[in-house]
Structure 1
Amino acid sequence: MKMEVPLLMLLVLFLVTYIQRSVVATLLHDEELKVTRKLDLINKPATKTFVTKYGDILDCVEIDKQLAFDHPLLKNHSIQMKPNFKIPKRRRLNTFSSSTLIPSQRRLLPKKVRCQEGTVLIKRIQEEDLAMEKFSPSLGMKFPTSNSYNFAYPNDDQPPQVHNQVAALVTFTQNTGAAGIINLWSPEVKPDQYSDAVIFVANDDGVVANAIVIGWAVNPLINQTFFTRLYTYWTKDSGQSTGCYNAMCAGFVQTSQEITLGQLLSPISVYWGRQYYVDLTVRQDLKTKNWWLLNGEDSVGYWPKELFTTLTNGAIRAGWGGEIQSPVTETAPGMGSGHFAKEGYARACLMKDLKLYAPMSFPAEKDLKLYLSKPECYGVLYEDSPGPGEGGEWGHSIFFGGPPGCSMS
C-alpha cells in the first residue's frame, strides 16, 4: 500500500525540524562550553569568595596566579609589590561641612573579613560580562591625538552610528602621570550608552596611541548595572587590537587586598547637597617604568611596562574630563552630574586638585586646551582659584558636564 503524499510530507517536515533543532541544540551547547572554558581561564581559583550586597562576586586569588600573568609578555615578569616613588599625602580639600572626600573607597568586605596574605582581591568576571566583551576596544576615552579638535583615534573603525563626545581639559606636556579628586555622580544612561569622568595619560608614535584612563563610569555595556564604578582602560594601539576595560583581559597586575577594579563607588553626591569624591592617580615608577594606579594613599596595582611601546618612556599628553557614548539614533545621556559646567559647585561635576607629574609645575593656562566635541551639549570650565563656599583652595580644577537629551544625529 502506498503512503499518501501529505503523510510523507509531514514525515519529511518532522525529520527536517528534528535535525534543525538538534543542530541548534548542539551549537548552543558548544557555545555554552566555550563561554564556560573562557570564564575558567579568566577567573582563577579563589582561596576565598565573597558576595557583596550589590551582587558582585569578589575572589581572593593568589597574587602570582592572577589573570595578568596569562599575557604572553608577562610570563617572566617579576611582581612589584609597591611603587618606588613616595606616595604623597594628598591635600584633603573637605573643610566645608557638606563635602566628604573618600580617599580609598574601601569596605567592600566586612571589617573582620580580609583576603589572606599572598592573595589579592579581584572582582569575578561573569557570563554577562563576556557578552559585551566585543565592545571593549571602543570603550576607552576618545582623547585628542594632536593639538587640534580631533577626538577620533587614527584609522578609527568604530561604526559611524555610535558617537563619543568629550568635554575635557588637556595638556600637551611631557609627564609621568596625572591625578585629581573627582566628584562622584551617577548620570542617567540607557542600556546601550555610558558616561564617565576620567583622567588620562597618553603617548604615540604618530600613528597609534598608547594610553591609560582611570576614573569612574556608569557603564551597563560592561557591568550590566547602572551603578557608578571604578573605571580603568588601557591600550597600546588606539584600541584597534588592544583595549581592555578593568580586568576583562590579561595585563593589569593587582596588588591590593581591599580595592579592586570595577568595584562600586558609594555614596554618590546629591544635587545642591552633600558632595562626595574619590582621589585617583596614575603615575609611572621611573625605576621600573611600570604605571601605578593609586586610590588616595593606597596602591591598587599597576600596568607593567611590557604592555606598552611609547608609553614606556613617559607620556606626552594628559587630560581630565568627561565622555559619553551613545547610538546616534538615541538622545545622549548626561555627563558628569547631568548639569552644565556653568552651574558650578554642588550642581555640576567638579574635578579638583588636578596634578601633573612633570619637570615643571602644573602647566600655565596658555599650555592648557579645553576640548569640547559638542559644545551645545556638554561644557567644561577651568579654574585656578579657591572655590566659593568650600572653605579651602581647590587648586587647579574643572567643572564639566551636561544634561541628558541632546541629539546625537
Structure 2
Amino acid sequence: MRPSYNPKGMHHDSNITPHLITQTWHQNGKCPEHTIPIRRTKEEHVLRASSVRRFGRKMPRSIPLLNPTNDTNTPNILRGHQYATASARYDKCYGTKGTFNMWKPAISRANDFSLTQLWITAGSYNGNNLNTIEAGWQVYPDLYSDSNARLFIYWTRDAYQTTGCYNLLCSGFIQTSNQITIGGSISPTSNYGGTQYDIDILVWKDRGSGNWWLQVGGYNVGYWPSYIFSNLTDSASTIMWGGEIFSPDVGQTSTHMGSGHFPNEGFGKASYIKNIQVVDSFNRLNPPSDVGLITEQNNCYNVESGNSSDWGTYIYYGGPGNNPNCP
C-alpha cells in the first residue's frame, strides 16, 4: 500500500515560503487509520446528470487537441471546451510534478466548469484507445452543488467513451490515505493582488509495482493500478499542464479560467503552475523539454511559459472569457 520508490530530483523554491493548504472537512477531525474519507454522493447529484450512466464522467474529447488543424473531428470550441495549456511529448515518460496556484474562478452557469490540471496520456483519439491520468483542482457546481475549489482526479482508457470517472465515483483509483478527500474542498485560495496559495501534485509510475501513484501536498493519496489501462501499462507519451473551461456558451461565457486574468499580468494576478518536472526512465524528475503551448482563442484565455532559477519551468495561464475582444 506504499510506493516502492519516490522520484528523485524534486525542484524546490529557494525564496518563496509555501502556505499550507487544508481541506474544509479537517476542521471536524481526521479519519482513523486504515480508513479513507469519501465524499458523500447524494441523490440530487445523480439526478443532475444527463443519465445515470454518464454521472461523474467527462464528455468524449475532453482534452486539448495537439494538432487541431490535422484533426478530422469537430474542433473543441464547438463542443464547449477551451484550453490554455502547455504540453511535451516523449518516447517514454513516467510521470510529472507541478506546483498549482489555487483560485476560485467565477462560473457563469451551474453546468459550466473551470479547472486546472495535469494530463498524463498515451494512445490516440482516432482509435478510441486514449489512456489518461488526470489530477488537479476544479470548480464545478453541477457535480458538487457549490462553487468551491475542489481537488479532483480522473482517468479513462478509451478516450472517455465508457471507462473512467471523476474521483471515486467508479472503481479504478485505489485510495490509501486517510488525510485527503478526493473531491473535497480546498482552502484557502489566492487573492488578486494579495496572498497566493499553491499545492504540489505529483503523479508517477512506481517501477516496483507498475502502478501510477498520486501524491498531493506531500501525502501519498493512492494509486491507479496498471491493469485498468492499456497504453499506460508501460509509460506515457504526452504530458500536459494548464487550464480548461467548459460551457455551452463557449466564446460568449464569462466563466473564468484560473484567476480570471490573462497571463501577462504576472504573479499575484494571473494563475500559474510552477516547478513543472517530468519523471524519466531512471525515476528522476527533470525539467520538460520542447514545451509547446495550446490555446484556441487567446483573446478569451491564453497561456505563456518561462524558466527561472526559483520556479524552474512554469506557465502563467487563464482569462476572463467573454470580453470586447472575445470572441
TM-score band (shorter)?
A: 0.7 to 0.9
CA contact (8 A) 1:168 1:380 kept: yes
Q: 1:368: how far off?
A: 1.5
Q: Percent identity?
A: 32
- The equivalences for 1:237-256 within 5 A come to 237-256=158-177
Kindly indicate whether residue 318 of structure 2 is the aligned counterpart of residue 397 of structure 1.
no
The residue identity in structure 2 corresponding to 1:171 is A
The question of whether the paired residues in 2 share the 8 Å contact of 1:210 and 1:311 is answered with yes
Query: Which residue of 2 is the match for residue 210 of structure 1?
Result: 131
Q: How does 1:233-272 map to 2 (within 5 A)?
A: 233-272=154-193
Counterpart in the other structure of 2:104: 186
| Structure 2 match to 1:131 | 47
- Aligned residue for 2:6, secondary structure, equals coil
Contact 2:276 2:288 in 1 (8 A): no
The residue type paired with residue 335 of structure 1 is: M
Matching of residues 5-20 of structure 1 within 5 Å: none
Question: How far apart are residue 139 of structure 1 and its match?
Answer: 5.2
Instruction: Give 3-state SS (helix, strand or coil) of 2:46's partner.
Output: helix
Which amino acid counterpart does residue 85 of structure 1 have in structure 2? Y
Cα distance in 1 for partners of 2:211, 2:137 equals 22
Q: CA deviation at 1:162?
A: 4.1
The residue number in structure 2 matching 1:328 is 249
Q: d(CA) in 2 for partners of 1:381 and 1:212?
A: 24
> Structure 1: which amino acid aligns with 2:18?
T
Whole-Å Cα distance in 2 between the matches of residues 260 and 156 of structure 1?
A: 36
Kindly state the Cα deviation for residue 369 of structure 1 after the two structures are TM-superposed: 0.9
Instruction: Report deviation, 1:90.
Output: 4.9
* Aligned-pair CA distance for 1:194: 0.4
2 CA distance for matches of 1:268 and 1:183? Answer: 8
Cα distance in 1 for partners of 2:242, 2:62 equals 11
Instruction: Tell me, yes or no, if the aligned pair for 1:87 and 1:297 is still in contact at 8 Å.
Output: no
CA distance in 1, matches of 2:7, 2:318: 30
Compare relative contact order (CA 8 Å, sep 6+) and give the higher one, 1 or 2.
2
What is the CA–CA distance in structure 2 between the aligned matches of 1:161 and 1:382, rounded to whole Å?
26
Give yes or no for contact 1:169–1:319 (8 Å, CA) kept in 2.
yes
Return the match for 1:363 from 279, 288, 295.
288
Instruction: Supply the distance in 2 between the matched residues of 1:323 and 1:200 (Cα, whole angstroms).
Output: 11
State the distance in 2 between where 1:281 and 1:116 align.
25
Task: Write the deviation string for residues 331-383 of structure 1: whole angstroms up to 9, x where unpaired.
Answer: 2411110000111111000110001012484233xx22100122121111101
Secondary structure of the corresponding residue to residue 99 of structure 2: strand
Distance of 2:81 and 2:69 partners within structure 1: 12
Counterpart mapping for 1:42-57 below 5 A: none
Q: Is 1:303 matched up with 2:224?
A: yes
Map 1:141-156 → 2, pairs under 5 A: 142-144=62-64, 146=66, 148-149=67-68
Q: Is the 8 A contact 2:300 2:326 kept in 1?
A: no
Q: Which residue of 1 aligns with 2:116?
A: 197
Counterpart among 165, 168, 179 of residue 85 in structure 2: 168
**Contact 2:34 2:178 (8 Å CA) reproduced:** no
Q: Give 5+ residue unaligned stretches, structure 2.
A: none
Matched, 1:348 2:285: no
> Larger Rg: 1 or 2?
1
Is contact 1:188-1:404 (8 Å) kept?
Answer: no
| Cα deviation, residue 251, structure 1 | 1.2
SS of the residue corresponding to residue 350 of structure 1 reads: strand
Choose the corresponding residue for 2:36, options 112, 117, 120. 120
2:296 is aligned to 373
CA 1:214/1:156 → structure 2, altered by over 3 Å: closer, same or farther?
farther
RMSD: 2.8
Contact 1:336 1:348 in 2 (8 A): yes
Aligned counterpart in structure 2 of residue 105 of structure 1, from 6, 19, 22: 22
Unaligned segments of structure 1, at least 5 residues: 1-80, 387-392
CA gap of 1:293–1:250, structure 2 versus 1, over 3 A, is same
Post-superposition, which runs of at least 4 consecutive aligned residues in structure 1 deviate over 4 A? 87-92, 154-158, 406-409
Tell me, yes or no, if structure 1 residue 314 matches structure 2 residue 235. Answer: yes
